[in-house]
Amino acid sequence: MLGSLQHIVQEVNSTKNLNQVLALIVQRVKESITADACSIYLYDKNDLNFTLMATQGLNNTQVGQIKMGYGTGLVTLVAEQTDPINLSDAQEHPRFKLFTTLNEERFHGFVGVPISHHREVLGVLVAQSEASIHFSQDVVYFIITIAAQLASAIINAQARNQIEALSHPKKNLTRKYSAISQKHRPLMGQPGAPGVALGKAISINSSFDLNAIPDKSIENIAQEEEIFRCALEVVRKDVKALSFQLLSDGLPTEDVAIFDAYLLMLESNTLIDNTIERIQAGNWAAGALRETITEHIKLFSEMDNPYLQERIKDIKDLGQCIYNQMLDINESPLQKLSHDSIIVADDISATVLADIEKIHIAGIVLKNGSRTSHVAILARAMGIPTVVGVSELPIMQLDGSAMVADGYSGKVYISPSKNIIKEYSHLISQEKELSAQLLELTDKPAMTIDGVTIPLYANSGLIAGMTVSQENGAEGIGLYRTEYPFMIRQRFPGEQEQTATYQTVMASMAPKPVVLRTLDIGGDKSLNYFPIKEDNPFLGWRGIRVTLDHPEIFMTQLRAMLIASIGHNNLHILFPMISNVDELEESIKLLRRSQIGLLAEGYKINAPKIGVMVEVPSLIFQMRTIAPLVDFFSIGTNDLIQYLMAVDRNNANVAYLYESLNPAVLIAIKKIIDDTHKENKPVSVCGEMASDPLAVILLLGMSIDSLSTSVTSLPKIKWLIRNFTHQEAKELLAEVLTMKNAHEIKKMLIAQLENKGLGGLIRAGH
């Protein structure tokens, strides 16, 4: 059964259409467990019923007709209990409901298993037997395993069908499932960067996924044939050259034999002819290639020969090479970007974002990530409305579709209706009005009604951010992430290159303060020229741990910062990921050594202010020993929350646990602020919590000394502070600290903002 499990999952993942996916599952499960019937019922959110979607063994003319609401039938009982039900005679159960039209009378044995996705029951998978028998434990666990693995395939197929239905309404006449026809159901993700985008999707296929290549009809068959043949020829030549090279490098012939196998595949008539046939039938080259490769994979996976099974990976690799080559022949999707483009991708790199910076696109929608992923932080800095973690995003299928992305709620509408476009266009114009109004606050202080001032600094990392920071009224740079200039290069930047970068930052802000953070690579910030491969990168070699292990890299950076500060005297150096006093002492020692060296070389440098990031929870309990060594503290809430809550800040599956308003997080931050104040040291928040209006009310109540926000959030945070009294914030904090969860806290704070007419801070519109 284990072998068939892998086959079923593989086959299902390469099947595109929802009805085909479901039909395949029931057929394969029935064969694998030798049941007399196997059926799938899916929950239809529109009419609140479980609908029979596919069956093998029952009367299949009833597919789409049999419906059961909660409270009726055994199928719904499985969903209600979210637990399998295994009965030797279902007909004796009080909840059994006989559907004579299904010819169900002859069935007795029954096993039903819920199909769940992220705690939601999508449907029920049922197997039945004519004999009155209990299904064995093996069978039950087989069905549970299948159901668990298929939930996301069903979700993806549903999303694909929905999009298909929107782009080809006429083709979809045979749809039986009304939830899919619920045209304007948005895809749900996480808010990444505030704002609303209305535009056209441009798909970027960053990670190759054969199944993600859509079908596309073509006009010019000859051109697609040419694209395919050219790509094939380039790959063939590359493989030949590589095999020759490896042989001349002395690699044994048997190790190079795999390339001969590749060449045979590349030259095989089945690969070439089948793909060409599919192009001639009207599919574009990439779609035709996908069909051929999928067919090969299916053929090989059906053979119970381990050697041939191993070759599946080779076929996929070859498919990838040919496809990549086709992308090179075609225009790069980035060249198609314009002001109304919405990038749709799995993930995008800092390099791509740096390129996009000059184009001013409308929005970004990503399958991966969460609010504090670095891509979301960059997007926020660039003011691009962004939605992240849209798990059911069929990337390649969306290319060219009209789209609305709401960076406040995380909703993404595909081919939105006229009403939705109208509604969002209205919200966009309200947003513009609000931004214009907020700009009037640029030169005003971030002062509460009762006279408490909270200086607002900007987070940055890209040079272009400086002008925008000034325009938005930043009183300095509270966090300059130096890793970005490292990420967009092909090697470590040298002392002079770094000096030039930091000089631009400090000169453009002087005399306002600039906090330069030392290199914080690792985690999700990788340098392609310095790969770090670890099982748990966020718990591994990151930030100060890397730079202390590489004093040559660290000291080059420290020297560049010090030299760049000459004449500006606004340098603050911040150390990331410090978890104990020794790391801090060692960092300060290297800083002092750099200073002494530069003074000896004749540079007239002043001592910078030294700060430490509080982002590893162990520091919460070491304030007293750390404080005498530093001039200031900066709370990195992005990592602090990730480590306190044990939730990977990039993992969309657990994003719901990443909650800055969780009482534990609030109590921890309050303790940090109270303890630093006891030690007479200033403390700021530079994590994304400082850009979240709800959290800022509470930080104000905790008497935070300053905030460093994303540039585009800064005017909104100032507006918020100017509408509260410090006393009011303290009272709200006291009330919040009696509450038991983030949900309650959020509800109360949202009501406060709406009451004050500040709702535009947390949702689209005024």
Please report how close the Cβ of residue 365 comes to Mg ion at its closest, in angstroms: 25
Kindly list the residues in this chain that would bind Mg ion in the complex (CB under 5 A). 615, 636, 639
Helices (H), 84-220: 137-167
Q: How many Å apart are CA 326 and CA 233, to the nearest integer?
A: 11
With a CB cutoff of 8 Å and minimum separation 6, the contacts of 304 are 3
- Dihedral sign, CA of 211, 334, 392, 374? positive
687 binds, among Mg ion, ligand PEP, none (CB under 5 to 8 A by kind): ligand PEP
Q: Tokens at residue 374, please? A: 């670095």
Query: 752 phi and psi, to 5 degrees?
Result: -60, -45
Q: Measured from the CB atom, is 27 or 579 closer to ligand PEP? A: 579
Q: Which of 108, 296, 374, 572 is catalytic?
A: 374
The angle, 0 to 180 degrees and rounded to 10, between the axes of the packed helices 418-439 and 714-722 is 70
- Which has the closest alpha carbon to 452: 756, 722, 684? 722
Please report how close the Cβ of residue 577 comes to ligand PEP at its closest, in angstroms: 8
Instruction: Name the residue number minimizing CB distance to Mg ion.
Output: 639
Q: Please, are residues 461 and 378 in contact by the beta-carbon 8 Å criterion?
A: yes
Q: How many Å apart are CA 349 and CA 370, to the nearest integer?
A: 14
Q: Measured from the CB atom, is 385 or 636 closer to Mg ion? A: 636
Please report how close the Cβ of residue 687 comes to ligand PEP at its closest, in angstroms: 3
Q: Does 374 qualify as catalytic in the annotation? A: yes
Please report how close the Cβ of residue 459 comes to ligand PEP at its closest, in angstroms: 7
Q: Measured from the CB atom, is 456 or 479 closer to ligand PEP? A: 479
With a CB cutoff of 8 Å and minimum separation 6, the contacts of 510 are 568, 569, 570
Cα 328 to the chain's mean position, in Å?
26
Please report how close the Cβ of residue 416 comes to Mg ion at its closest, in angstroms: 36
Please report how close the Cβ of residue 465 comes to Mg ion at its closest, in angstroms: 18
Q: Please, are residues 64 and 45 in contact by the beta-carbon 8 Å criterion?
A: no
Please report how close the Cβ of residue 658 comes to Mg ion at its closest, in angstroms: 14
Helices (H), 522-612: 544-549, 551-564, 581-600
- Which has the closest alpha carbon to 486: 565, 550, 534, 539? 550
Q: Which of 108, 296, 686, 726 is catalytic?
A: 686
Greatest Cα pair distance in the chain:
96
Q: Measured from the CB atom, is 371 or 411 closer to Mg ion? A: 371
Q: Measured from the CB atom, is 431 or 639 closer to Mg ion? A: 639
CA distances from 419 to 423, 426, 445 (A): 6, 11, 40
Sheet with 411-414, side-by-side order of all strands: 187-188, 411-414, 402-406, 196-204, 341-345, 363-366, 386-388, 190-193
- Which has the closest alpha carbon to 478: 761, 690, 306? 690
Q: Which amino acid is at 154?
A: I
Q: Measured from the CB atom, is 416 or 478 closer to ligand PEP? A: 478
Q: Which residues on neighbouring strands pair with residue 198, listed in sequence order?
A: 404
Q: Measured from the CB atom, is 114 or 687 closer to ligand PEP? A: 687
Q: Measured from the CB atom, is 189 or 576 closer to ligand PEP? A: 576
Helices (H), 34-87: 73-81
Burial (0-12, 13-18, 19+ Cβ within 10 Å), 236: middle
Q: Which amino acid is at 182?
A: Q
Q: Tokens at residue 168, please? A: 């080809």
Please report how close the Cβ of residue 637 comes to ligand PEP at its closest, in angstroms: 5
Q: What is the bridge-based pairing of β-strands 456-460 and 477-481? A: parallel
Q: Measured from the CB atom, is 16 or 542 closer to ligand PEP? A: 542
- Which has the closest alpha carbon to 489: 525, 526, 516, 529? 529
Query: 129 phi and psi, to 5 degrees?
Result: -130, 150
Q: How many Å apart are CA 415 and CA 166, to the nearest integer?
A: 7
686 binds, among ligand PEP, Mg ion, none (CB under 5 to 8 A by kind): ligand PEP
- Which has the closest alpha carbon to 385: 213, 542, 198, 544? 198
649 binds, among ligand PEP, Mg ion, none (CB under 5 to 8 A by kind): none
Please report how close the Cβ of residue 614 comes to ligand PEP at its closest, in angstroms: 9
CA distances from 374 to 148, 370, 484, 501, 717 (A): 31, 9, 10, 20, 21
705 binds, among ligand PEP, Mg ion, none (CB under 5 to 8 A by kind): none
Q: Which amino acid is at 162?
A: Q
Please report how close the Cβ of residue 578 comes to Mg ion at its closest, in angstroms: 11
Q: What is the bridge-based pairing of β-strands 49-56 and 67-69? A: antiparallel
Kindly list the residues in this chain that would bind ligand PEP in the complex (CB under 6 A). 479, 481, 520, 615, 636-639, 686-687
Q: Does 38 qualify as catalytic in the annotation? A: no
Q: Measured from the CB atom, is 39 or 637 closer to ligand PEP? A: 637
- Look at residue 142 and give its three-state secondary structure: helix
481 binds, among Mg ion, ligand PEP, none (CB under 5 to 8 A by kind): ligand PEP
Q: Measured from the CB atom, is 381 or 753 closer to ligand PEP? A: 381
Query: Which 8-state DSSP code applies to residue 382?
Result: H
Q: Which residue has the tokens 């002494």?
A: 596
Q: Please, are residues 125 and 74 in contact by the beta-carbon 8 Å criterion?
A: no
Please report how close the Cβ of residue 575 comes to ligand PEP at its closest, in angstroms: 12
Q: Measured from the CB atom, is 475 or 639 closer to Mg ion? A: 639
Please report how close the Cβ of residue 517 comes to Mg ion at its closest, in angstroms: 9
Query: 105 phi and psi, to 5 degrees?
Result: -55, -35
Plot region of 83 (φ>0 → left; ψ -120 to 50 → alpha; else → beta) = beta
Catalytic positions are 374, 686
